[in-house]
Structure 1
């Protein structure tokens, strides 16, 4: 947007300068240039409509060459600068070889115009035109090389993200498979042996009604129950609490070009969250990062988890935000606010100088499961 504004500003300054000079020189030249510039600006702003972007620029260059033949010498400087401006513009839309053809054609046409107007070839101007033409050709070549390098970089970056995402999924799948394998081994080996042991103790306790057999049986039942709990935990695909948030951050960083600075303060890892509170915290962090990716001014997000003086879990999500207009509650922020308030918590949304901040407070220890 800044480049476009600067280009339009330069073009308007050149047009105004030429019109002012024509107004001082001759009313006929002023009227002709005013009509000409209206056509030129019309074609310039209609460039996005054309399938071949070079066509309106070539038409503008032809108009400027014709105008050189019928205007006073005082206006030629502005017309040459306008021709240079549109020559640079057309270089953005054509190949290097075609751009060289355009430069050579303009050189021959303007040399002929110089002979017709001055009855001799203005060697100083031609030398300057050749120098500028060479610089324009080199600039066009560098621009094409830059575009090719940028396309290659974006392609490699996209491939890298795909590979990183695939690597993450493969690692996650391998972890889940390994956990399931361990769970099956524990169930089939340890669980079955404990069950068999408990049955043997039960038989001995029936034959010999002794207190020691009852104690052994109780201990075996406790071991079997602990083993079953461990198997159930190993078979869970997703972890909860802080571990789930770390997994979320890792996933988003692997799929998007975003950098998350995650900080936990003292006491956070000791907080006992219920399943519902885990879900509220997870969805809030997820929505905060998504919001930062959509509207943030950079790819950096700062997340801090802490514990309030009364033992509630607090979180803060900061990201740069330089937009002048105030934020408005969208679907995501509304949902986040309702979800936190349902758990008796509170969410504050702040827009400070250059920063957008989400501050949440989630009560814990309410006995929810």
Structure 2
């Protein structure tokens, strides 16, 4: 957007200067130039519509050369500047071979018009045209090389994202398969053995009615129930705590062109989060990364998890942010703040020079049942 504004400003001042010079010459020159510049600008702003970008640019250059020949010396300098401007624009929209042919044509026509208007072109003018022509050709070659590098980069980036996504899903599928295998083994071996043991104890208790058999039976039932709970937990795919945050980061990196620098400080992995606290942390990190993807000035996000001196879990999300206008509380930030307050945590939002920071802390091990009760 900034480049487009600069280019439009340059073109506007060129048009304004040429029209002012034509107006001071005579009315006919002004009207003719205004009409032809309208056609030229129409071609220029309709370039994205054309399949072959060379057609509108070639039409513009031909019209400008005709204006040079028809108008004469008065507007020669402005028309040359117009030619250089559109040749530079053309260099980034056409192939090298075609652009070299256009540059040669431009050089010959400009020299011919220079001979007609000024009787003979001086060595300075010839050197100037040769230098400009060389610079235009080099610019076209560099732009073509850049486009090839850019296409190669985009292709490699796309392949990388596909491979990373595939790696994530393969790892996820392998982990789920391994958990299911462990769950089946526990169910088939330990569960069946405990069931058989409980039936044997039941038979002994029926025969002898001893309290020891009843105690063993109850212990076996409890052990069987714990085994069933463990099997059910192994079959659940959802992760909790810090593991869910790591899975979220891997998922977002594999599905989006974003680089997350994830850091955990000492003691974080030993923090015991409740289900509600895990959900709050997960949603806050998710919203912070999404916010950075939407409004950040680059694709890098820096996330740091730590433990405060009083034992609270802290997180910090940083991303480059160079917009001059201040941030405002949208739905996402309001929702984050509300979630943190519901979990008796705090969220701070900072906008520094070139950086946007989200800082929060969640009290760990404190279950707040009522606002009137003390945390325990």
TM exceeding 0.5? yes
Q: C-alpha separation between the residues in 2 aligned to 1:300 and 1:44?
A: 40
**What residue is the counterpart of 1:47 in the other structure?**
44
* DSSP-derived class of the 1:268 partner: coil
Aligned: 1:102 with 2:99? no
**What residue is the counterpart of 1:276 in the other structure?**
276
Q: Does the CA-based 8 Å contact 1:40-1:60 persist in structure 2?
A: no
For residues 173-193 of structure 1, give each alpha carbon's deviation from its aligned partner in whole angstroms, at most 9, with x where no partner exists: 121011111101110111101
**What residue is the counterpart of 2:64 in the other structure?**
64
Q: Does the CA-based 8 Å contact 1:302-1:317 persist in structure 2?
A: yes
Q: Does the CA-based 8 Å contact 1:274-1:367 persist in structure 2?
A: no
- How is 1:233-244 mapped onto 2 (pairs within 5 angstroms)? 233-244=233-244
- Residues 157 and 357 of structure 1: CA distance in aligned 2, closer, same or farther (over 3 Å): same
- Residues 74 and 244 of structure 1: CA distance in aligned 2, closer, same or farther (over 3 Å): same
Per-residue deviation, 1:291: 0.4
Q: Does the CA-based 8 Å contact 2:25-2:74 persist in structure 1?
A: no
Aligned: 1:246 with 2:246? yes
**What residue is the counterpart of 1:323 in the other structure?**
323
Per-residue deviation, 1:29: 6.6
* DSSP-derived class of the 1:304 partner: strand
Per-residue deviation, 1:231: 1.0
Question: Where in structure 2 are there 5+ consecutive unaligned residues?
Answer: 370-376
* DSSP-derived class of the 1:328 partner: coil
Q: C-alpha separation between the residues in 1 aligned to 2:45 and 2:16?
A: 24
Q: C-alpha separation between the residues in 2 aligned to 1:240 and 1:121?
A: 80
**What residue is the counterpart of 1:132 in the other structure?**
132
- Number of residues paired by the alignment? 365
Q: TM-score, normalised by structure 2?
A: 0.83
- How is 1:326-345 mapped onto 2 (pairs within 5 angstroms)? 326-345=326-345
- How is 1:80-99 mapped onto 2 (pairs within 5 angstroms)? 80-99=80-99
Q: Does the CA-based 8 Å contact 2:72-2:117 persist in structure 1?
A: no
Q: TM-score, normalised by structure 1?
A: 0.84
Q: C-alpha separation between the residues in 2 aligned to 1:323 and 1:143?
A: 29
Q: C-alpha separation between the residues in 2 aligned to 1:353 and 1:127?
A: 48
Q: C-alpha separation between the residues in 2 aligned to 1:344 and 1:263?
A: 24
Aligned: 1:27 with 2:28? no
Q: C-alpha separation between the residues in 1 aligned to 2:117 and 2:324?
A: 54
Q: Does the CA-based 8 Å contact 2:340-2:346 persist in structure 1?
A: yes
**What residue is the counterpart of 1:150 in the other structure?**
150
Question: Where in structure 1 are there 5+ consecutive unaligned residues?
Answer: none
**What residue is the counterpart of 2:301 in the other structure?**
301
**What residue is the counterpart of 1:357 in the other structure?**
357
- How is 1:283-298 mapped onto 2 (pairs within 5 angstroms)? 283-298=283-298
- Residues 140 and 37 of structure 1: CA distance in aligned 2, closer, same or farther (over 3 Å): farther
**What residue is the counterpart of 1:168 in the other structure?**
168
Of residues 112-121 and 159-168 in structure 1, the stretch that sits farther from structure 2 once superposed is 112-121
Per-residue deviation, 1:83: 1.8
Q: C-alpha separation between the residues in 2 aligned to 1:216 and 1:260?
A: 53
Aligned: 1:264 with 2:261? no
